[in-house]
Chain A
Amino acid sequence: MISQSAIENAIATQFHDKVRLEPRRPNILQIYAPFYHEDGDMLDMYIEPRHGGVRVCDFGKTLMRLSYTFDLDTDNKRRIFNEMLTENQVQFDDESGNIFLDTTEENLCNSVLHLSQVIAKVSRLDVLRREIVSGLFFEMLNEFIGSELTSFNPRFDYLPIPGRDELKVNCAFEISPYPVYLFAVRSSNQARLATLSFLEFQKARLRFKGFVVHDDFDSLPKNDRKRITSAADKQFVSLDDFRENAAEVFSRVA
């Protein structure tokens, strides 16, 4: 079995062998190190000797790469980005897009490793992309109901018509005079199921209010929007809309 000293020696030797500097411009050294983005490109890191110390930075390359598929084009995204930099104790120049930290010769290795971590984190801000966030739609909806609407007696995965498992609603709110049956809709299929279910409940002469929460109402095809609008009593066009207005709407129907 390999000994600890052999492991230490291997790490030290391999790090030494795999890290080098190449001059990129006068007074700018590029760090060549085995740190790669998911797309196979090496992390862009540079060293700039300055009076009194050394700057380790990316010269805007991280944001340039991020912009291939994701823009920091909302206040929330920019806030998350700035908080990430602050929490990780690096600085940022908005005009040049430069993420950097000023360090000393004695702390150079730590600073390079630290910057590589920050670059990796910033590079993955694209997890805030809509299609990823919307995948959390159902979890976030249930979490909101479970924490903010408990006074309206929610019951998840409820069967308004016993034995009709195919007509299960995402959540029933047992309020008077009529319960609210809520469907969460993120696709055409779910919209059609909600529409069909409401019609079946009406055919069974149930007394209820039919509500729908959409992930993105505008993304539904036109005919699905028309059908569900005809069948539902109230629709929330987005999760944000539901969060902002659900309590007040439920209070009016309760």
Chain B
Amino acid sequence: MGNSVDEYTQEQIEELISCAKVIVDPSKRTMTSLQGSRRNDMIVQNGAGARFRVFMRQSEKFSEDFSVGLVYEPRGASPIILIRCNGPHGEFLGVDASHSHNGYHIHRAKVENLRSGLRAERCGELTDEYVSFEQALRYFLSVTAIQWTDDHFPNLRQRRLDGFDD
């Protein structure tokens, strides 16, 4: 993957988001409390050796205010947030950037943003995929194809196929 923003295509961005990834530096079993927010991070890697950082943040004051994101960190270049799943924290600019919205939403990197010199993940879209931090994390792990186990995220204990927890 090239370092210049001109070298990315939307297909490459989508592939970076959805390609299968394994955890190479796992997150802590519990979030760390630091300066008003609960935080956790981990490093994941895809089959081609590209490395990504996952961040998990949740406000201690407003627990519904959280963000789980995937950061692509190409060597020697600025990091790019590929996807970020947020809770309702206030308004955000929608995809058309002329209207603001409020609610659970997802920011996703767009090549036109990169080429315009804007933040890749500028502007978000409302979502009904989750209504809590744990649900957002589970959704995020699914769309980013990160392979995880109960050891990585004990709070997310994977459901059996019959839908019942142990």
- A–B pairs, 29, beta carbons within 8 Å: A24-B62, A25-B61, A32-B90, A32-B91, A34-B100, A39-B107, A40-B123, A41-B86, A41-B89, A42-B89, A42-B90, A42-B92, A44-B90, A59-B62, A60-B35, A60-B37, A64-B57, A67-B39, A67-B57, A68-B67, A68-B69, A68-B71, A95-B36, A97-B34, A131-B76, A131-B77, A134-B76, A219-B75, A219-B76
Q: Which of B115-136 contact A (CB under 8 A)?
A: 118-119, 121-124
Partner of A44, one of B89, B100, B121: B89
Given contacts A59-B61, A129-B78, contact A68 B119 (CB under 8 A): no
B81 within 8 A of A: yes
Please report the total number of A residues contacting B with Cβ < 8 Å. 32
A5 → B minimal CB distance (Å): 27
Q: Which residues of B contact A223 (CB under 8 A)?
A: none
* Whole-angstrom distance between the Cβ of A127 and the nearest chain B Cβ: 10
A165 to chain B, nearest CB (A): 26
Kindly list 20 other residue pairs between chains A and B, CB separation below 8 angstroms, not including A40-B119, A95-B35, A134-B76.
Answer: A34-B100, A38-B118, A39-B84, A40-B97, A40-B121, A41-B86, A41-B124, A42-B89, A42-B100, A59-B62, A60-B60, A61-B37, A61-B89, A63-B37, A67-B34, A68-B81, A94-B35, A97-B34, A132-B78, A187-B76
B80 to chain A: closest residue by CB: A69
Q: Does B43 contact A (CB under 8 A)?
A: no
**In contact, B100 and A39 (Cβ under 8 angstroms):** no
Do A63 and B119 form a contact, CB below 8 Å, given A30-B90, A40-B124? no
Chain A residues in the interface with B (C-beta under 8 A): 24-25, 30, 32, 34, 36, 38-42, 44, 59-61, 63-65, 67-69, 94-98, 129, 131-132, 134, 187, 219
Central interface residue in A40, A63, A98, A131, by most chain B CB within 10 Å: A40
Q: Is the CB of A97 within 8 A of B119?
A: no
Q: How many residues of B contact A (CB 8 A)?
A: 37
Q: Once the chains bind, are A69 and B81 in contact (CB under 8 Å)?
A: yes
Can you list, as one digit per residue, whether each of B35-70 has a CB less than 8 Å from chain A (1) or not (0)? 111010000000000000001010111100101010
Q: Which residues of A contact B121 (CB under 8 A)?
A: 39-40
Interface residues in chain B, defined as those with a beta carbon under 8 Å from any beta carbon in chain A: 34-37, 39, 55, 57, 59-62, 65, 67, 69, 71, 75-79, 81, 84, 86, 89-93, 97, 100, 107, 118-119, 121-124
In the assembled complex, which residues on chain A have CB atoms less than 8 Å from the CB atom of B122?
A: 38-40
In the assembled complex, the Cα of A63 lies from the Cα of B60 at a distance in Å of 12
**Distance between Cα atoms of A61 and B37 in the complex (Å):** 8
Residue picked from A67, A68, A129, most chain B C-beta under 10 Å: A68
B107 adjacent to A40 (CB under 8 Å): yes
B123 neighbours in A (Cβ, 8 Å): 40
Closest beta carbon of chain A to B92's beta carbon, Å: 5
Q: Which 9 A-B pairs have the closest CB atoms?
A: A60-B36, A97-B35, A97-B36, A64-B37, A40-B93, A40-B123, A42-B91, A42-B90, A59-B61
CB-nearest residue of chain B to A30:
B90
A42 to B79, CA, bound (A): 21
- A98 to B89 Cα, complex, angstroms: 16
Q: How far is the CA of A237 from the CA of B88 in the complex (A)?
A: 46
Report how far A36 CA is from B151 CA in the complex, Å. 38
Residues of chain A with a CB closer than 8 A to B67's CB: 64-65, 68
Q: A32 to B90, alpha carbons, bound, how many Å? A: 7
Chain B residue numbers with a CB within 8 Å of A134 are: 76
